Amino acid sequence: MRPPVSIGRRRLLTGAAAIAVAPQARAQDRAVVIAQTSDVATLDPAYGMDTATGNVLKHIYESVLSRRGDGSIGPGAAGPAVNLSPTEWRVELPAGRRFANGEPVDAEAVRASFARIVDPAAKAPTRPLFTKIVEAIVESPGAIRFRTDGPDALFEARMTNLLVVPPKYAATGKLTEAPVGSGPYMLEQWRRNDAVVLTARPDSGLPAPHYTRVTFRAIPEEIARISAVKTGEAQLVTALSPNQADSIARGGGVQVLRSDSTRVMVVHFNTAVPPADDLRFRRAVAMAVNRDEIIRGLMKGYATPVATIFGAAVQGVQKGADGAFAHDPEAARKLIQELGLTGHEIEIAGGAGRYPLDREIALAVGAQLRRVGLAVKVRATEYGTFLGDVKQRRVAPVFIQPHGNVWFDPLPQLVAFFDSNGFISAWREPALDRLLTETDGALGAAREQLVGKIVTHLKDEAAAVPLFAYQFIYAAAPGLQWRPRPDDVILAQEMT
């Protein structure tokens, strides 16, 4: 077993001085313990992609721009980004900020942080987030200019994913276990598969957080996490299921906190397999599905109906856009009869074990389609197998597809699930491909209008039936004050 990894202020204290100072500092700590489902994978931001890792990294490092709690974008290590032309952006940094090791937080630090990620030799999993950016030019210590390959409406979102590291220290290769950042906290100790302990930096130049000591514990089992918050071992725990959240809420004594997410459950169609190639069949399915019944029953109310395939926090969706279908089982039954499909066996596919109750949601939709006359067979498979079937268009004519949206922007989601070359797309439609390409080259209001046009097109073609947005559900100690975010990010500096 590897020994705990430690770095920071306490490393500077040795011998008797450490014995004298450490107990006094600990007595003054305002501490919070956050229990997640897993340990961090790395402490180097170029290589951290999962939520549990990201939650810890965002305490140690600053991103160039920041994602606010409502999903909008604001300043981070740098001020607002200025769009100089369709292919150029300038980002300015305040003077005087320093990393925990004393290196300046300046334009060169931003350039170097970008360069180490996009370097092919580094094989950083975060590299695809920045492939649209072709050049970073330091104009002065306080200003850096980025050049993109064509108009890039996602540039500011990309900057929320660019965590800044000190160039000289990063070159030593020590960030993986001994991180140095400019954020409000620094690493005190990492006990692998157990806990990451952070302490507040008094010299960060940022507003002082309420909690001076933050511990992220790894507790994979849901019941164990719930026990931790009930006994006071943790003040916040993540990833509650609707059933457990409902039980805790009725029992009292512990807060149940929740936020709408950008994860949306959607009914899709594979038009390569009849009868999904018939618009009338797709409309019949859309009208047969009763999403409110699923939300109230299966999800125990811990989900939110959506008017489109996008969660409410996704930016750049035209106001009033409506891609949902009214529940009308009689109209659906008539269409099924007209098509001669009454009693006809139809397969519904879905993934199993990747998202909360994903298999059960497919079964619920199947039961609703039986009510309008279809003989439905539900096949829920391991998620990787399911995705392979979708990509190869081997999937059933009707399938339940969970959507994710880490960009908080509609276009990456649309491309992934509806472009003919989309990463998780079984839909093939040249006209829609052209519309998506046009949207990718637009900015501002013109882009928003095009997104609205796509939402209307998807509804006209009954290409997708939006069901609901998942909610992130947490259990919290009675005294903790914190508002959950739609990106599932947990920041101790937002807690009191």
The predicted model gives 123-147 an average pLDDT of 97
> Which helix H or strand E contains 331, and what residues bound it?
helix 329-338
User: Within this chain, do residues 464 and 484 fall inside the same structural domain, yes or no?
Assistant: no
Same domain? 280 vs 193? no
pLDDT at 10 over 70: no
Mean pLDDT of the region 153-182: 97
pLDDT at 135 over 70: yes
Q: What pLDDT sits at residue 39?
A: 96
470: exposed, middle or buried (Cβ count in 10 Å: 0-12, 13-18, 19+): buried
Other CB atoms within 10 A of residue 42 CB: 18
Structural domain span for residue 373: 261-471
Residue 348: CATH number of its domain: 3.10.105.10
Alpha-carbon gap, residue 9 to 189, rounded angstroms: 11
Residues composing the chain: 496
Instruction: Answer whether residue 250 is part of any domain.
Output: no
CATH number (domain holding residue 133): 3.40.190.10
pLDDT number for residue 163: 98
Does 163 reside within a domain?
A: yes
- For residues 464 and 485, state if they share a domain: no
Quick check: bond before 275 cis, omega within 30? Answer: yes
Helix (H, G, I), strand (E, B) or coil at 275: coil
What would the pLDDT profile of 92-105 be if each residue is shown by its tens digit?
A: 999 999 999 999 99
43 shares its domain with 91? yes
Paired tokens of 438: 């046009």
| 198 & 315 share domain | no
Q: Is the confidence at residue 46, as pLDDT, over 90?
A: yes
Number of domains in the chain: 2
Flag the least confident range among 10-19, 102-111, 151-160, 196-205.
10-19
Alpha helices by DSSP H, listed for 252-328, are: 279-288, 291-296
> Region 4-23: what's the mean pLDDT?
32
3 found inside a domain:
no
Output the average pLDDT for the chain: 93
104 and 180 in a single domain? The answer is: yes
Per-residue burial over 46-78, b if 16 or more Cβ lie within 10 Å, else e, is: bbbbebbbbbbbbbbbbbbbbbebebebebbbb
| Three-state DSSP state, 386 | helix
Average pLDDT rounded to a whole number, residues 325-338 = 98
Cβ-contact 86, 132 below 8 angstroms: no
Kindly state whether residues 338 and 417 are assigned to the same domain: yes
Which pLDDT band holds residue 28 (cuts at 50, 70, 90)?
A: low
- pLDDT at position 96 is 95
Whether pLDDT at 270 is above 90 = yes
Residue 67 sits in the same domain as residue 187:
yes
Note whether 156 and 267 are same-domain residues: no
480-489 tens-digit pLDDT: 999 999 999 9
Do 203 and 293 share a domain, yes or no?
Answer: no
Tell me how far apart the alpha carbons of residues 474 and 53 are, in angstroms, rounded to a whole number.
Answer: 18
| Residue 242 domain-assigned (yes or no) | no
Q: How confident is the model at residue 41 (pLDDT cuts 50, 70, 90)?
A: very high
Q: Which residues sit opposite 34 in a β-bridge?
A: 216, 236
Average pLDDT over residues 177-201: 97
**241 lies in some domain:** no
Q: How confident is the model at residue 472 (pLDDT cuts 50, 70, 90)?
A: very high
The answer to whether residue 4 is domain-embedded is: no
Q: What is the pLDDT, as a whole number, of residue 29?
A: 75
- 412 occurs within a structural domain: yes
pLDDT for residue 354: 87
**Is residue 11's pLDDT more than 80?**
no
Residues 133 and 265 in one domain: no
Q: Which amino acid is at 233?
A: E
Compute, in degrees rounded to 10, the torsion defined by CA atoms 53, 49, 411, 281. Answer: -90
Q: Inform me whether the pLDDT recorded for 356 exceeds 50.
A: yes
Q: Name 25's Cβ contacts closer than 8 Å, sequence gap at least 6.
A: none
Q: How confident is the model at residue 424 (pLDDT cuts 50, 70, 90)?
A: very high
What is the model's pLDDT at position 12? Answer: 27
Identify whether residues 325 and 367 lie together within a single domain. Answer: yes
237 part of a folded domain? no
